[in-house]
Structure 1
Amino acid sequence: MEWLERCACVVQSGLFSDVFRRHSALLLACVTVGGSLVKEFWPLPDSYFNSKRNFLNVYFVKLSWGWTLSLLLPFIGLTNYIVTRSVPAVFRRIGTLLVGTIIWYVCTNFFMYVENATGSCYVSEMQPENKTEHGDKRECIKSGGFWVGFDISGHSFLLPYCVLMILEEAAILRDERFKKHGMKPLIHALVVSLGLLVSIWALMFFCTSIYFHTPWQKIFGTFFGILSWYITYRWWYLKTLSPGLPPSSPPGKSHRKAK
């Protein structure tokens, strides 16, 4: 399994490095702004990646929170138990996934509320000047109409949030105990899988920024994703009454324990 260990080392020294983690939020914000400028002023020709039916979008992005949970759950459980040897501590850290699920649910429903509250129903996408009497998106679409509202990009929200969350949880890998542990092959498999997932989320986030939505819809989506990460990992998780940060998190001002 040397190849798996080598792949895990590449992921850990690259995507999961402290340097990349510290600058990841800024990089994601730049992707949204830069991609939006490209879409507005230098639109790119159609490609496989601006088709909503492309493989990565259908089988990964549309299930992005499920994929993130399915890999972070065993990763957090296994790595935190190896470091802490405490089942209560493991369950406390797994609470981050419950918090993330609540954030995902609240934000996506808020986005749908905004779109419904700011929109109008039209006869078709090709006839935006002809409104209908339907004042609700579901009724509009059910009647064959086309709903136009301020559609905050769910992809621009969730993909950055998933990336930032994975990078934060990967901070535990700095602990030296993983290098000689008997579960090392499984840890390597999870690291490689999470690294692949981060790469897919980053790629599809980039495609969203250059192909879909208006600039403000993407900026607001990314803002909510980064804000959710900041409130949890940079503020609340520093407090005593919280799921807490991963053990062996990188030292620094933003990761100091709260007094």
Structure 2
Amino acid sequence: MATRRRYDPDTEGIPITAGMPSGTIRPPTSSARRSPFLPTRLEAQLLAIYPATLLLGSIFSTLSPASRSAPYSSVSQSHPPEFAPSYFAQKKNVFNVYFVKVGWFWTTLAFAFFITFHPGFGQGVSTRRVRALLRYAAVTTWWVFVTQWFFGPPLIDTMFRFTGGQCELLRDPEAREGMSETREFITGATCKAVGGTWKGGHDISGHVFLLIMGSSLLWLEFLPALTRVEGLRDGRLITLSDGKTATVAVEKEAHKEGADATARGVKFALSVAALMWWMLLMTAAYFHTWFEKFTGLAVAFVGLWCVYFLPRGVPQLRAWLGMPGV
């Protein structure tokens, strides 16, 4: 069942346009955020978990005797397997190989499960479901640009080469001795495919980027379903087509499908997001430098802001992407 639109008498004078999201529309209160481009208090608390997790993992790696005593390779951004201080510090641990390495598959599966089975999207090809798919497509495009392809090498590899990185062939001693100069390849993947080592530049943490991007997409999509629980509702400030601002909130909704309607489609997505958080903590504790993890966080936040917060202040963009839960 779609969320019903309810207007407060106090909203007189605020024009209702076709591009306005549904939900409860009211003028911003005196304590409201001054910019629609900023997250709500609840969203800010959620997003703050990510830098806090990176900080916690980094502190743990600094204070843990096992981590401090284990050698660390700046080339592989990890501890050598034979000296790994934990099972999760090994790149070949089962969660890294079958979950993180294919993290966008799990993100896509959880997102598909959510928009298919959660009753808040209505029946069939609803407007709310189409807009959710457009948001997913936008986030996925950013993931592709950063990690797979950006009119050539992905942004991660472009940044690596821009900061002085290159590929060094190390596997074949004879080939190495015969080289007058270091061989260069366009991407880290092609470098490793020919037995080289990708080194020398700044390596944005792809794991940090993927885990934050994937789990945040899921959280921001199903957060409105959770905020229908009493005490968690939180209004979002938007800019209307005439330049005025208003607050839109997700109404508490009674579904005919039963008391478990909010949980349908959410439990699996929540499990994937929780496992992504755990692997983010393990990445923060055992892989990459502080700055590499920070840039992975920053690049992920850029994509999230463009898809989930920029449309709140740009009605034309909001007409296409909408907002989760409305």
TM-score by length of 2: 0.60
| C-alpha displacement of 1:92 | 2.1
Q: Give yes or no for contact 2:104–2:214 (8 Å, CA) kept in 1.
A: yes
| C-alpha displacement of 1:121 | 3.6
Q: Cα deviations across residues 166-225 of structure 1 (Å, max 9, x unaligned)?
A: 121113312544x54338768635211111111100000000001001111110001111
Q: Give yes or no for contact 1:80–1:246 (8 Å, CA) kept in 2.
A: no
Structure 1 59/187 Cα, relative in aligned 2: closer, same or farther at 3 Å? farther
Does residue 195 in structure 1 map to residue 270 in structure 2? yes
Equivalent residue, structure 2, for 1:153: 205
Q: Which residue, out of 79, 86, 90, partners 1:51? A: 90
Structure 1 235/142 Cα, relative in aligned 2: closer, same or farther at 3 Å? closer
The RMSD of aligned alpha carbons is 3.1
| C-alpha displacement of 1:88 | 3.1
Q: Give yes or no for contact 1:209–1:218 (8 Å, CA) kept in 2.
A: yes
Structure 1 244/238 Cα, relative in aligned 2: closer, same or farther at 3 Å? farther
- Separation (CA, whole Å) in 2 of partners of 1:186 and 1:62: 32
Q: Give yes or no for contact 2:255–2:261 (8 Å, CA) kept in 1.
A: no
Q: Which residue, out of 283, 287, 309, partners 1:234? A: 309
Q: Give yes or no for contact 1:163–1:202 (8 Å, CA) kept in 2.
A: yes
Instruction: Name which of structure 1's ranges 202-211 and 105-114 shifts more when overlaid on structure 2.
Output: 105-114
In the TM superposition, 1:98-109 aligns within 5 A as: 98-108=137-147, 109=154
In the TM superposition, 1:132-211 aligns within 5 A as: 133-136=182-185, 137=188, 140-148=191-199, 149-173=201-225, 174=228, 176-177=252-253, 180-182=255-257, 188-211=263-286
Q: Give yes or no for contact 2:166–2:198 (8 Å, CA) kept in 1.
A: yes
SS in 1 for 2:198: strand
- Separation (CA, whole Å) in 2 of partners of 1:223 and 1:113: 16
Does residue 119 in structure 1 map to residue 165 in structure 2? yes
| C-alpha displacement of 1:161 | 1.7
Which amino acid is 1:246 matched to? P
Structure with the larger helix share: 1
TM-score by length of 1: 0.74
Structure 1 224/146 Cα, relative in aligned 2: closer, same or farther at 3 Å? same
- Separation (CA, whole Å) in 2 of partners of 1:85 and 1:138: 41
Equivalent residue, structure 2, for 1:66: 105
SS in 2 for 1:59: helix
- Separation (CA, whole Å) in 1 of partners of 2:107 and 2:115: 12
Which amino acid is 2:192 matched to? I
Does residue 81 in structure 1 map to residue 159 in structure 2? no
| C-alpha displacement of 1:93 | 2.5
- Separation (CA, whole Å) in 1 of partners of 2:182 and 2:276: 39
Q: Give yes or no for contact 2:119–2:261 (8 Å, CA) kept in 1.
A: no
Which amino acid is 1:112 matched to? D
Structure 1 238/95 Cα, relative in aligned 2: closer, same or farther at 3 Å? farther
Structure 1 206/88 Cα, relative in aligned 2: closer, same or farther at 3 Å? same
| C-alpha displacement of 1:59 | 1.6
| C-alpha displacement of 1:80 | 4.2
Q: Give yes or no for contact 1:72–1:166 (8 Å, CA) kept in 2.
A: yes
Structure 1 135/63 Cα, relative in aligned 2: closer, same or farther at 3 Å? same
Structure 1 88/68 Cα, relative in aligned 2: closer, same or farther at 3 Å? same
SS in 2 for 1:146: strand
Structure 1 19/51 Cα, relative in aligned 2: closer, same or farther at 3 Å? farther
